[in-house]
Structure 1
């Protein structure tokens, strides 16, 4: 194990998953703190031996039951105060699923559900800002 003079940020991944036609957005309801009970994008921490894409697919499957063969990298979220647990940088990916995709909350997600983009619940972390950027840059 290495010892470094400088602290290192945590690295996470988040998934923006939409139904192909209706563009309903997949969110999970957090089952743990911080923001327990609030809705968020599915995602989580990257393991030491994982590629970012693989981490995103794993977290998505663990939290929602979805397996998506193809995701596209959208952006890196690096706002300093985006996570109350400490300095956390997230790489966001996006993908599409058929209209009949079924999801179920698992792992640390109390539940998972689809929401119209214009009727999103209150969101955890900076996810409302990130979704707004995605809509503006990718869907418009």
Structure 2
């Protein structure tokens, strides 16, 4: 661990934007996989908007946590310790990301009724992820700089 990463991981000093962007992108990847999978499953099963969004958000948390969980377990942590790290590292990040992304989808005219084959569905989803990334990155930077959030996971990488 280099000097700047150590400071970001331990909460001493400040977190770099690069570290915050990397942590946010890592989180976004897990969220995106879970959310898209939930949308595909809900749509394929002809579920309504509410149950589909609940499934998508739940899977976003599952995949978001699991990406961190497997990373810190590879670093040698036990399952129990890894779960604690994943919960501490990702809860705020995933929650902010999902809140922003789903608000954008809900506020985009026609996006909630769009099907998987519609460009509007994908543009609203990807646009939501882009805005969520822009909003979540400063949140993660602030948390990492205080030794919280993704700093907890980075201490174990």
Which structure has greater helix proportion? 2
For the criterion TM > 0.5, the same-fold answer is no
TM-score, L = length of structure 2 = 0.29
- Structure (1/2) with the larger strand percentage: 1
